[in-house]
Amino acid sequence: MKKNIYLFGPGMGEGNAGMKELLGGKGANLAEMSNLGIPVPPGFTITTEVCTYYVQHRKYPSDLGNEVEQALKRVEKAMGAKFGDPESPLLLSVRSGARASMPGMMETILNVGITEETIPGLIKKSGNERFVYDAYRRLIMMYSDVVLEKAQGIDPEEHGIRKQFEREIEETKKRKGLKDDTELSTEDLRQLCQTFKAKLKEVLKVDFPGDPTEQLWESIRAVFKSWMGKRAISYRNIEDIPDDWGTAVNVQAMVFGNMGENSATGVAFTRDPATGDKIFYGEFLPNAQGEDVVAGIRTPQPLNEATKAVLANELSSMEETMPQIYEELNSLQKKLETHYRDMQDIEFTVQEGKLFILQTRTGKRGGAAAIKIAVDMCEEGLISQKEALLQVKPEQISDLLHPMVSPKAERTATKLADGLPAGPGGAVGQIVFTADDAETQSKEGKKVILVRAETSPEDVHGMHVAEGVLTSTGGITSHAALVARGWGKCCIVGCSALNIDVSTRTVKVGGKTLKEGDWITLNGTKGTVYAETLPLFPADPEKNLSYKKLMIWADEIRGLKVRANADTSEDAKLSRKFGAVGIGLCRTEHMFFGPERIKLVREMILADNKEMRQKALGKLLPYQKEDFIMIFRAMNGMPVTIRTLDPPLHEFLPHNKSAQAEMAKQMRISPEALREKVELLSEVNPMLGHRGCRLGITYPEITEMQVQAIMEAACELTKKGIKVLPEIMIPLVGTKEELHNQREIVVRIAEVTKKKYGVDVNYLIGTMIEIPRAAVVADEIAEFADFFSFGTNDLTQLTFGYSRDDVVKFLPDYLENKILANDPFQTIDRKGVGELMKIGIQRGRLKKPNLKIGICGEHGGDPKSIAFCHQIGIDYVSCSTYRIPIARLTAAQANINSQ
Amino acid sequence: MKKNIYLFGPGMGEGNAGMKELLGGKGANLAEMSNLGIPVPPGFTITTEVCTYYVQHRKYPSDLGNEVEQALKRVEKAMGAKFGDPESPLLLSVRSGARASMPGMMETILNVGITEETIPGLIKKSGNERFVYDAYRRLIMMYSDVVLEKAQGIDPEEHGIRKQFEREIEETKKRKGLKDDTELSTEDLRQLCQTFKAKLKEVLKVDFPGDPTEQLWESIRAVFKSWMGKRAISYRNIEDIPDDWGTAVNVQAMVFGNMGENSATGVAFTRDPATGDKIFYGEFLPNAQGEDVVAGIRTPQPLNEATKAVLANELSSMEETMPQIYEELNSLQKKLETHYRDMQDIEFTVQEGKLFILQTRTGKRGGAAAIKIAVDMCEEGLISQKEALLQVKPEQISDLLHPMVSPKAERTATKLADGLPAGPGGAVGQIVFTADDAETQSKEGKKVILVRAETSPEDVHGMHVAEGVLTSTGGITSHAALVARGWGKCCIVGCSALNIDVSTRTVKVGGKTLKEGDWITLNGTKGTVYAETLPLFPADPEKNLSYKKLMIWADEIRGLKVRANADTSEDAKLSRKFGAVGIGLCRTEHMFFGPERIKLVREMILADNKEMRQKALGKLLPYQKEDFIMIFRAMNGMPVTIRTLDPPLHEFLPHNKSAQAEMAKQMRISPEALREKVELLSEVNPMLGHRGCRLGITYPEITEMQVQAIMEAACELTKKGIKVLPEIMIPLVGTKEELHNQREIVVRIAEVTKKKYGVDVNYLIGTMIEIPRAAVVADEIAEFADFFSFGTNDLTQLTFGYSRDDVVKFLPDYLENKILANDPFQTIDRKGVGELMKIGIQRGRLKKPNLKIGICGEHGGDPKSIAFCHQIGIDYVSCSTYRIPIARLTAAQANINSQ
């Protein structure tokens, strides 16, 4: 028979910290703390397996009733009270506890066990009638909300029973001229309990249960049901938590922080979660229950003098008001951090002078804090270098690479609204409501933030110039989120509190109305909006000593090399600053867009024959050569992988009429002739069209010019004694014949050029593997390749048959319906795309055992994808400049994890 | 040491028929005939390896000179004459002979060995001075043309030396009032020889060689060079012959058919190559050399009475004029056909009453003839059923499935011009020069043939309504050819003799001028154009007994099942007539285009919400249901695979302004709103966009409606006692989750519908495998699939990253540069696409060993692809109706070949 229940509490812990899967994070921690002698209120955990069973069968395992009864007896014994007993009634909390933390997503019911029958006993025992009626009205509120509404599938919203109850409290306070809930009298509270029960009968047509056992079982059921609730499901989608993990339920003896002035409740962190500073940091509320801290109705007081300083909170601290309790807590927090080897987030309650630890868990923290904590802990000897490296989430590093809202300023700022964090960093700017306004005003030198209900491809020009983007609808896969993430731009989406009216250029939030030109601040890493200008910290990781130490450790341990995708010498320089050991992708086409160059490119495209094309290309040559000289110089002997021309030629021609007319005039041809050419070059599916090496094969003179520019640049620098290592990469190869064809051109031009300069330059010739066929015939292709570089963007497009430009039409549905677990353009699809990569690597190395293999799609900067690259034997990842440090850390973690 | 030379001739054959690779087809045959005792003139074959060596090294193997000398001695001995000997000179022919027949592509030089010094001896020996000078002037003409011009890389064209020589002959004849070359006197010919030599000196600055050995060696070299000539290369591209096969050279004693009235030369077939009738069929010219027959200057005479009747040629036959020789020839032809077990094409010469067989090879034949010959030979006991099945090329069957130009009429018709055969069958119609004219005039009830320099996507509407298409430029991968082949429409491309002037609506061909409205006939199977209306045989294979027998044999032996791609009950009926055993692909979207339906489809697309969409779909339901009832009825219990909606929705909306305005009016919405919707639905890469099962997932109501229509139709018929076997196929699946999602919808609706009707209907649910990812994760997908069907069109697009709509931009270059050996949309790319298919089959059957697997891309009708499908274990191919018999035969051949 399966054990469905595990006890915890001083001297009675049945589980331990390793049983997270079965007991959930909270349950496992409570068990572990019991074992450690931490004063947790006793209770028991119903396992996650019961949840899964319940979700599948809509009923409980047959033995559960008995087990609960037995466990309850043990708890009753430990607390010296009895559940439902009129004399000395035990009260219970019923809380969810999933394997992964899902803060605020799951349900909790407190004070279970108060009934009209147990009230007198409770009053007698506590000597605090007001507290009892306060607890009762809280139970009625929570139970009605969670058990009687949400668990029945009713979405509470504005007209939910809880809101109605709250309005009753407000009315009572108004009527009596009170400001704070704590000012309500015992009679007020008793009256409210009666009013609530009547309301419940009226609105939901049910009685509040007078049977404590019914309260308990219905609360347990509600928690299990909340696992499949809408909010929980969407949170799991975001955080990648599988449905079948289920949640555990923790039933625990209640302890009360609201039993007078020698009671309190609070939350503490073993280090400052915003900065990582080694201070014991936290807040508490005297004479209050935990929900009061979370709800933010009363302003919490600082835990100690250190917190007081950080928060500039002048209220008296626990260190001052309850020094002994504080000392006990302080010594417990040190014990907990040392035990868990990580910064802890601790919930505690003081009941009439006695400290209880309700919960401890790994504390959430920002990027800078995470790095500082990891490095500090390592230097304190608490954790090893490897543990320090694993403690920082790679994405957290990006906090250091983007401007960040000052955490200090943020603590004291008033939040305007919350949304989903969709693009990292902070942004400060003036509100604009249309993409065109964004463009116009940014041209005038203004810093703007684009605020829209949602964005579409037509808004892209406005998004581009904006400091940040804020939308009221859409999730993390909405258009705005996808675009912003791609650019590394600060973005918050789905900020549903916003009520935008474009026609009047105003946005209402709560009671406030903001208009165009008003300043706001976005924290895109957290998803928070402020209606004021907060100071931003500029990105300068080099000044962060913890960061520098961590990256040195990472570089020492990682196996994968990290290169940059860089098209300019500026990018190249920055990439070296960020620790790249070479360029893995230099896109030559980006060099074609300068004003003087685009003219020559167009001349080349319009050429009627090879001679005219060659003439135009000849004029482009010096520009390209100069580009390469600059990049080679910047990389100073590190390998530079240069991809020959990739996009279809029509991308270089204007597509709207007026631009065409202008170009025709400039090129001295008729607009009709130009239009005809544009027409001729246009394609039904440009992604699958005349591009990549297909261009170099039909117009070999393009490849010839590019190779000449690369090799002349390389030869000139070599002559000057500067080391150069060009790696020429042919894009979009699907057959060995294509690579063979282009390789011959490269070799021919390279040899002629070297001879002309009279120097020797080592160079490699390789290919992108981005066409599914290339992966399948990689053995053939390897014959002509010195290296492979997986172009996972195109490989993903082709393996799935998804156009990256169009996928937004169905990707949100796919993610929501769990057709896809992730956006495959963000994280490599291991089963499909990854399988093709494995085939490509295996077959390529079958032919050439030492074939150098890299990846230069955007996945090269994605932690999960980098870990996969490490697993399958890739030599280097190449990613956009700002992802380099992230890739370095991920590569180190991948190596540690595979050891 | 490698043997470079193989002798042949009575009693001296060194090779045999099995040595085609080394000796070429002609050389191997000559050796084999020598062994059989066939009277071939003696000679020797220089191997194909020498050609390959020569092409690579631009010189001969070192021993070749000696070997030629030795072989020549043996030939001299056998003929009792000596090469270059003034008394009894031997003359030689030098001919190419590749492994595969390349008629008219390669070079031949006759009469090698005539010099001023050997002329007297020749005259003495032959007693025919006129013949000698005639032979000499022929040698000079051919040698100048082949050795001195073409082999030097000069493209002769209109101003070539040969043309100039021919003009000299014409002038002489004109001056002397002669009609025929044979009327030229000895003196005329001698004079012409002198004129030719002077002209040669004047134009090409060279002397005609007086050294017979120089003549021989230069002729051999010219043949080798011709292998890499432009014409030969382009022929090989078309016929898929590898360059490295090389050609052999056959040096053979000359025998003369022009040594007076008891000499002759001719060509014969062991059966009529046009009809397949079992008659000895051929033509001959008395007192002539072989080239006279080929050149068509003199009208050949019928070989026998049977030929006379067929050709309606009243000239006297060889059977009449040379009865003894004819009898010898007749008995030899029977021997040859029996020996080679196939219809033979025989070249022969009679030299002063003595018969020589110059060559025999498998005779080319039309489709109807091929089938008749194969079946007849089998029934005569000459070959087995399997041999008969292998003897017919699958493509030849299409001759019976398209209207064909009457072979009889074609024999007597005057050819206007030749082009490349690009679309099968015959077509008769009136010339039009633009696609718009084609459309207008065809609406007026005219049958038109679209004549263009080349076609582009803008011409498609005109091509569609035309009986046939004729272009003056472009090869077999030009736009016209690709489109016509796709439709099975009669088409001739690259007919370079045409000089088209669209402005005057005229086309000049040679001396003739045709104008709009003139009638022409195209034979698209052969590539021949006639300036007259020839009778067409309608396609009615059922009346062809040989065909019916052959197909019965094929069905008995084939392993692969053959199904039809059919979208209407008419197609379904026709497919059964052509022998399909089910429908492998029924595209439901084609049913959406009827005038009443498209309105409802558009209503569905414009719907703002699910309810409105469901309403529109509800109105579509009865139409779809009726379609399925008709198709199920037509197939009467055979399986019918129905694919749910596949194309993106924007395909159902009009894209030009006026059509949009009309639609907006009809749908009672503003044109702006419609334009906005079109805009919203438009995609950058529609091939990779919101289509296939992606539609069914975002709009489950579409799948629901389609399944309901299918199942209601199935249930109604089942109730009436008609057997129905629907197979519902989900398109564009890339993940198991997609198929799972759609499968649940199908099962749900199907079960509800069955219950509603109270009957049981067996149905299957399967998926297209057309996304590379689907092949890679086929094991996962198989879990939810009762069958797979490879959609090789899309699989090819995605595996290569080629858009079928755009590939024409580089495919011709790719084929020309041999980047690709074939158009992968015509023939499955075995290494890439085929490898993914193998992976898909292997993984799919790993999960479900008995998984039914088919293919329904257009490759399902391509013989090479069908053979591959057989090899990799596919269960059935599905192809367009007209390809069904071709597929049946190919399937049989594949099975025979794999035994």
- pLDDT digit string, tens, across residues B263-282: 899 999 999 988 899 999 99
Rounded to the nearest 10°, the torsion over CA A69, A75, A80, A81 is -50
CATH number at residue A617: 3.20.20.60
Give the integer Cα–Cα distance in Å for B888 and B578.
Answer: 9
Burial of B1 (0-12, 13-18, 19+ CB in 10 A): exposed
Is residue B456 a part of any domain in this protein? yes
Nearest to B819 among A689, A735, A810 (CB): A735
- What are the C-alpha distances in Å from B715 to residues B583, B640, B703, B710, B758? 19, 14, 18, 9, 8
Q: What is the mean pLDDT of residues B326-348?
A: 94
Which amino acid is present at B275?
T
Instruction: Write the Ramachandran bin of B418: left for phi over 0, alpha for psi from -120 to 50, otherwise beta.
Output: beta
With H, G, I as helix, E, B as strand and everything else as coil, classify residue B356: strand
Average pLDDT, chain A: 91
Q: Establish whether A587 is an annotated binding residue.
A: yes
Q: What is the pLDDT of residues A73-93, one digit of tens each?
A: 999 998 888 999 998 899 999
Band of pLDDT at residue A358, cut at 50, 70 and 90: confident
Give the integer Cα–Cα distance in Å for B411 and B310.
Answer: 10
Q: Which of A515-529, A587-601, B286-300 is modeled with the greatest confidence? A: A515-529
Q: Known catalytic residue: B479?
A: yes
Write out the H or E segment, with its range, that includes residue B609.
Answer: none
**How many beta carbons lie within 10 A of that of residue A59, not counting itself?**
9
What is the model's pLDDT at position A292? 67
Residue B83 has pLDDT above 70, yes or no: yes
Give the integer Cα–Cα distance in Å for B95 and B249.
Answer: 6
Say whether B688 and A797 touch across the interface (CB within 8 A). Answer: yes
In chain B, what's the furthest Cα-to-Cα distance?
103
Is residue B745 a part of any domain in this protein? yes
Q: What is the pLDDT of residues A176-191, one digit of tens each?
A: 988 777 788 999 999 9
Q: Between vectors from CA A319 to CA A314 and to CA A320, what angle results, nearest 5°? A: 65
Residues 6+ apart with CB under 8 A from B640: B572, B582, B583, B586, B631, B632, B724, B725, B726, B727
Write out the two tokens for B269: 């077939």
Write out the two tokens for A495: 């900020």
DSSP annotation of A151 reads G
Do B288 and B361 share a domain, yes or no?
yes
Contacts B683 to A, Cβ<8 Å: 803, 805-806, 809
CATH number at residue B484: 3.50.30.10
Do A132 and A107 share a domain, yes or no?
no
Residues 6+ apart with CB under 8 A from B750: B707, B711, B761, B763
Do A413 and A354 share a domain, yes or no?
no
The half-sphere exposure of B268 on its side-chain side, counting CA atoms within 13 A, is 34
Is residue B130 a part of any domain in this protein? yes
* Residue of A798, A820, A823, A833 to mutate, interface with B, max B Cβ within 10 Å: A798
Write out the two tokens for B686: 């529609």
With H, G, I as helix, E, B as strand and everything else as coil, classify residue B360: strand
Write out the two tokens for A711: 């090799």
Q: What is the mean pLDDT of residues B149-167?
A: 79
Residue by residue, what is the 3-state secondary structure of B476-506?
CCCHHHHHHHHHCCEEEECCCCEEEECCCCE
How far B743 CA sits from the closest chain A CA (Å)? 13
Do A303 and A160 share a domain, yes or no?
no
Q: Which residue from B731, B727, B800 is spatially nearest to B764, judged by alpha carbons? A: B727
The residue annotated as part of the active site, out of A586, A856, A869, A879, is A856
Give the integer Cα–Cα distance in Å for B838 and A774.
Answer: 16
> Helices (DSSP H) in B758-862: which residue ranges?
772-776, 778-782, 792-800, 811-816, 835-847
Residue A247 has pLDDT above 60, yes or no: yes
Buried b (16+ CB within 10 A) or exposed e, A679-713: eebebebbbbbbbbbbbbbebbbbbbbbbbbbbbb
Residue B37 has pLDDT above 70, yes or no: yes
Contacts B832 to A, Cβ<8 Å: 734-735, 772-773, 776-777
Q: Which residue from B141, B388, B183 is spatially nearest to B287, judged by alpha carbons? A: B183
Is residue B544 a part of any domain in this protein? no
Q: What is the pLDDT of residues A368-391, one digit of tens each?
A: 899 999 999 999 999 999 999 999
Do B6 and B60 share a domain, yes or no?
yes
What is the model's pLDDT at position B10? 80
Residue by residue, what is the 3-state secondary structure of A223-257?
HHHHHCCHHHHHHHHHHCCCHHHCEEEEEEECCCC
Which amino acid is present at A762?
N
Q: Between vectors from CA A597 to CA A595 and to CA A601, what angle results, nearest 5°? A: 120
Say whether A771 and B732 touch across the interface (CB within 8 A). Answer: no
Buried b (16+ CB within 10 A) or exposed e, B205-217: eeebbeebbebbb
The residue annotated as part of the active site, out of A378, A402, A479, A869, is A479
Give the integer Cα–Cα distance in Å for B16 and B5.
Answer: 13
Q: Which residue from A476, A470, A477, A472 is spatially nearest to A491, judged by alpha carbons? A: A470
Say whether B799 and A737 touch across the interface (CB within 8 A). Answer: no
With H, G, I as helix, E, B as strand and everything else as coil, classify residue B82: strand
Top pLDDT among B674 and A352 is at B674
Give the whole-number percent of chain B exceeding pLDDT 70.
97
Q: What is the mean pLDDT of residues B545-568?
A: 95
Band of pLDDT at residue B836, cut at 50, 70 and 90: very high
User: Residue A347: which domain range?
Assistant: 264-365
Angle between helices B129-142 and B161-176 (to 10 degrees): 150
- Of A365, A390, A424, which one is at a domain's C-terminal end? A365
Q: Establish whether B792 is an annotated binding residue.
A: yes
Is residue A393 a part of any domain in this protein? no
Instruction: Write the Ramachandran bin of A10: left for phi over 0, alpha for psi from -120 to 50, otherwise beta.
Output: beta
Do A520 and A598 share a domain, yes or no?
no
Nearest to B688 among A683, A776, A802 (CB): A802
Global confidence as pTM: 0.78
Band of pLDDT at residue B592, cut at 50, 70 and 90: confident
Contact A359, A31 (CB under 8 A): no
Q: Known catalytic residue: A856?
A: yes
Do B286 and B340 share a domain, yes or no?
yes
CATH number at residue B224: 3.30.1490.20
Band of pLDDT at residue A352, cut at 50, 70 and 90: confident
CATH number at residue A192: 1.20.80.30
Rounded to the nearest 10°, the torsion over CA B449, B454, B458, B461 is 20
The residue annotated as part of the active site, out of B378, B693, B715, B856, is B856
Say whether B805 and A835 touch across the interface (CB within 8 A). Answer: no
With H, G, I as helix, E, B as strand and everything else as coil, classify residue A177: coil
What is the model's pLDDT at position A486? 58
Write out the two tokens for B571: 């197609």
Instruction: Write the Ramachandran bin of A205: left for phi over 0, alpha for psi from -120 to 50, otherwise beta.
Output: left
- Of A477, A509, A538, which one is at a domain's C-terminal end? A538
Do B870 and B763 share a domain, yes or no?
yes
Q: What is the pLDDT of residues A780-793, one digit of tens each?
A: 999 999 999 999 99
Q: Which residue from A76, A72, A80, A84 is spatially nearest to A45, judged by alpha carbons? A: A72
Give the integer Cα–Cα distance in Å for B704 and B612.
Answer: 15
Say whether B833 and A773 touch across the interface (CB within 8 A). Answer: yes
Residue A295 has pLDDT above 60, yes or no: no
With H, G, I as helix, E, B as strand and everything else as coil, classify residue A309: helix
Do B188 and B243 share a domain, yes or no?
no
Do A638 and A530 share a domain, yes or no?
no
Is residue A552 a part of any domain in this protein? no
CATH number at residue A290: 3.30.470.20
Q: Establish whether B240 is an annotated binding residue.
A: no
Do A756 and A840 share a domain, yes or no?
yes
Strand-pair partners of B251: B44, B94
Say whether B773 and A799 touch across the interface (CB within 8 A). Answer: yes
Residue A409 has pLDDT above 70, yes or no: yes
Give the integer Cα–Cα distance in Å for A278 and A343.
Answer: 10
Nearest to A800 among B734, B799, B829 (CB): B734
Q: Between vectors from CA B34 to CA B31 and to CA B39, what angle results, nearest 5°? A: 130
Contact B470, B450 (CB under 8 A): yes
Band of pLDDT at residue B537, cut at 50, 70 and 90: confident
Is residue B378 a part of any domain in this protein? no
Write out the H or E segment, with its range, that includes residue B561.
Answer: strand B561-565
What is the model's pLDDT at position B78? 87
Contact A325, A318 (CB under 8 A): yes
- Of A365, A383, A400, which one is at a domain's C-terminal end? A365
Q: Establish whether B718 is an annotated binding residue.
A: no
Q: Which residue from B82, B92, B94, B77 is spatially nearest to B125, judged by alpha carbons? A: B82
How far B637 CA sits from the closest chain A CA (Å)? 35
Displacement of CA A568 from its chain's centroid (Å):
29
Do B104 and B248 share a domain, yes or no?
yes
Give the integer Cα–Cα distance in Å for A258 and A833.
Answer: 57
Residue B295 has pLDDT above 60, yes or no: no
Band of pLDDT at residue A680, cut at 50, 70 and 90: confident
Burial of B739 (0-12, 13-18, 19+ CB in 10 A): buried
Total number of domains in chain B: 5
Burial of B66 (0-12, 13-18, 19+ CB in 10 A): exposed
Lowest-pLDDT choice from A473-477, A498-502, B23-27: A473-477
Say whether A738 and B805 touch across the interface (CB within 8 A). Answer: no
DSSP annotation of B363 reads P
* CA-based nearest residue in chain B for residue A819: B737
Is residue B660 a part of any domain in this protein? no
Write out the H or E segment, with its range, that includes residue A468.
Answer: strand A468-471
Q: What is the pLDDT of residues B848-898, one digit of tens each?
A: 999 999 999 889 999 999 999 999 999 999 998 888 999 999 999 999 999
Write out the two tokens for B779: 């094991």
Average pLDDT, chain B: 91
Contact A497, A476 (CB under 8 A): no
What is the model's pLDDT at position A482? 67
Residue B238 has pLDDT above 60, yes or no: yes
